[in-house]
């Protein structure tokens, strides 16, 4: 499998996966790149190019097997295994993240949580909150795959440096700040403003300027 | 301006905007579709196609003016005005959203918040929490542009129906559930699992299966 796949192609794969899972529930068994493109607003050529990075899924003119594509995407995305996560920052946002019900069914397990003031916060039905100073030692003893960062913006870089030093290679960053990581570490930022801005496009068209 | 622009093209525009703003801060004044494509992992043809929906920004072989593209994207995305938002659901997640510092600088104003138990919750430095039963009346009296939904999954559809009945045409859905809306209403879902899944792709490649 080639290693030079553009990041944004990879970002699209979970979206393909969610769409295909829905189409399969609705009874679709075969789909063309044209139909996939229509669903996602991408050119059929882009769809074919995205999927071609991972091998030959479809036959010219015959479309993709939805079941086979789902299976391949599960393997490609590593959705056939479970992943250990730690949460850093157990404020309002951190507690909200810890209580999100969607992680476990998708194979993401929250194994520990850390805060600068562990005695003053707790997670309902979740791990005991540990002091943040314990994070480096814990990461050496119990390696984790993913760090979720929900600390204030000005603390995010320090926390991420600690996670990276402890071998964590994937960061889900909720702090409203762009952060620096080495090339072998992956970061995704949860940014509600980007989501809002794609909707204001429509609102601008549809309602008069006040 | 054409109205049949694919949703996913529109979803990419805020990402273009954020990238261009960063490039401008770093001193870039002109950029080619090839370079934009390299930054975003999209084919240059897809970039040109995306931007062609909105008119002629670039000249063949001369690249795009970063400043002009930013200006046009601001207008296209409606970032030159302010938007009124209400929040429904002031639990842990709702309070975390309300305290997000990124909304106001981007022109998104939280004008009201609602909860089923308004007496038991409050938003620090934010609007007083109103009873959810008051939402329909309030929407008639004070129209809003955007509804942020942070209620439990099983309440999301009802809340969204109420918002839509009150004229709200853009919904930011934090509830882990796909919801139904009329064709003229826009929904974006904040889903950390999709972000995680694009990172497990890399982790699967880089570390042994345990």
**CA distances in angstroms from A75 to A15, A54, A66, B186, listed in the order given:** 15, 11, 14, 32
| 3-state per-residue secondary structure call for B70-115 | HHHHHHHCCCCCCEEEEEECCCHHHHHHHCCCCCHHHCEEEEEEEE
Beta-sheet strand order (sheet of B129-131): B129-131, B108-115, B83-88, B146-149, B170-173, B186-189
Pick from A171, A202, A210 the residue to mutate for testing the B interface (most B CBs within 10 Å).
A202
Q: What are phi and psi of A26, to 5 degrees?
A: -85, 0
Structure tokens at A114: 């850390």
Q: What is the CA radius of gyration of chain A?
A: 20
Which residue in the block uniquely carries the two structure tokens 């440096």? A161
**Is residue B161 over pLDDT 80?**
yes
B167 contact A CB<8A: no
DSSP-assigned states of every residue in B115-143: ESSGGG---TTSPPEEEGGGHHHHHHHS-
Helical segments of chain A, H only: 7-25, 33-40, 44-52, 66-76, 92-98, 135-141, 153-165, 192-206
E-assigned strand segments in A107-145? 108-115, 129-131
Which chain B residues are closer than 8 Å to A50 by Cβ?
A: none
Q: Distance (Å) from the C-alpha of residue A22 to the closest C-alpha of chain B?
A: 11
Could you tell me the pLDDT band of residue B164, with boundaries at 50, 70 and 90? very high
What's the pLDDT tens digit per position in B43-71?
888 888 888 887 666 566 678 999 999 99
Q: What are phi and psi of B11, to 5 degrees?
A: -60, -30
Res B200: pLDDT:
93
Res B6: pLDDT:
76
Nearest CA in chain B to A168: B203
**Is residue A1 over pLDDT 60?**
no
Res A57: pLDDT:
61
**Cα angle, residue B7 at apex, residues B80 and B155 outer, rounded to 5°:** 90
Mean pLDDT of chain A: 88
B97 contact A CB<8A: yes
What's the pLDDT tens digit per position in A183-203?
889 998 898 998 899 899 889
Cβ-in-10-Å burial (0-12, 13-18, 19+) of A60 comes to: exposed
pTM: 0.79
Mean pLDDT of chain B: 88
Q: Distance (Å) from the C-alpha of residue A37 to the closest C-alpha of chain B?
A: 10
A41 contact B CB<8A: yes
Which chain A residues are closer than 8 Å to B78 by Cβ?
A: 197, 200-201, 203-204
What's the pLDDT tens digit per position in B178-189?
788 998 899 988
User: Chain centroid to CA A176: how far?
Assistant: 16
Model ipTM?
Answer: 0.84
């Amino acid at each position: 499998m080639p290693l030079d796949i553009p990041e944004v192609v990879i970002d699209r794969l979970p979206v393909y996966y969610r769409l295909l899972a829905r189409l399969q529930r609705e009874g679709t068994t075969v789909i063309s790149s044209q139909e996939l493109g229509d669903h996602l607003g991408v050119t059929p050529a882009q769809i074919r190019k995205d999927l071609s990075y991972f091998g030959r899924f479809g036959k010219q003119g015959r479309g993709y097997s939805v079941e086979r594509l789902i299976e391949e995407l599960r393997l490609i995305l590593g959705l056939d295994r479970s992943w250990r996560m730690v949460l850093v920052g157990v404020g309002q946002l951190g507690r909200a993240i810890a209580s999100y019900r969607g992680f476990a069914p998708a194979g993401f397990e929250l194994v520990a949580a850390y805060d600068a003031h562990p005695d003053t916060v707790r997670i309902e039905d979740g791990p005991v909150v540990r002091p943040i100073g314990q994070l480096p030692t814990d990461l050496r003893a119990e390696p984790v795959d993913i760090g979720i960062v929900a600390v204030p913006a000005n603390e995010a870089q320090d926390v991420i440096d600690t996670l990276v030093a402890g071998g964590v290679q994937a960061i889900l960053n909720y702090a409203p700040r762009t952060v620096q990581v080495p090339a072998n570490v992956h970061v995704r930022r949860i940014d509600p403003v980007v989501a809002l801005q794609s909707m204001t496009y429509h609102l601008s068209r549809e309602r008069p300027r006040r």
